[in-house]
Amino acid sequence: MSRPGEPRVGVLALQGDVREHVAVLEALGAAVTLVRTPAQLAVVDGLVLPGGESSVIDKLSRLFGVREPVRERIADGMPVYGTCAGLILLADRILDGLPSQLPFGGLDVDVRRNAFGSQVDSFEAELEVPALGEEPVHATFIRAPAVERAGVGVDVLASVDGRVVAVEQGALLGTAFHPEVGGELRFHRRFLDHVARVSGA
């Protein structure tokens, strides 16, 4: 339950690793709403797009009537953090999406799905992310995408093997990996900082 004046954040709860994100956000003291409808989206100050299957989340977002409301809120400046499939959905362009697949957009990047291979090619890595401090980030990559082009207003936060895997543009944050799987809190904390600034809390 959020207190008066306290920002409430949402996790898009259509498919994917929703519970893991909720656990991390609540561990950081956030009030969390599961978002499946436009009404639930309307009460949050920021939104997490979880990992999962980007094409399935796209289809379900249309079925539940939240695709256009999410796009409108992003355009209005709502902070959003997308992980893995969430990064794909947040990108302006998906280079190898399904013919009918559309992202929410907002982040001026081109993303390639499954850029590191299939499920059996999943891996973990220690990433240097100077924006988060000196301690490396333990990152879990599961059928991970990669950013192949970042616009002039996009800050590259991390790369692995020469591929961009973490980006930020204003209040929009995207990672190709899953910090929530390994208990890494700093990306979610950075997202909550964006929410606090935008909401004025």
The verdict on whether 148 is a catalytic residue reads no
Question: What span, in angstroms and rounded, lies between the C-alpha atoms of 109 and 153?
Answer: 10
- Please identify which of the residues 20, 21, 168, 178 carries the catalytic annotation: 178
The verdict on whether 180 is a catalytic residue reads yes
- Please identify which of the residues 20, 21, 84, 168 carries the catalytic annotation: 84
- What is the sign, positive or negative, of the torsion defined by CA atoms of 25, 195, 141, 136? negative
Q: Give residue 159's Cα distance to chain centre.
A: 16
CA contacts within 13 A on the Cβ side of 90: 34
Return the axis-axis angle of helices 67-75 and 54-63, rounded to nearest 10°.
100
- Please identify which of the residues 20, 168, 180, 184 carries the catalytic annotation: 180
Which amino acid, one-letter code, is at 105? Answer: G
Q: Is there a contact between 181 and 169 (Cβ–Cβ < 8 Å)?
A: no
- Give the catalytic positions in this structure: 84, 178, 180
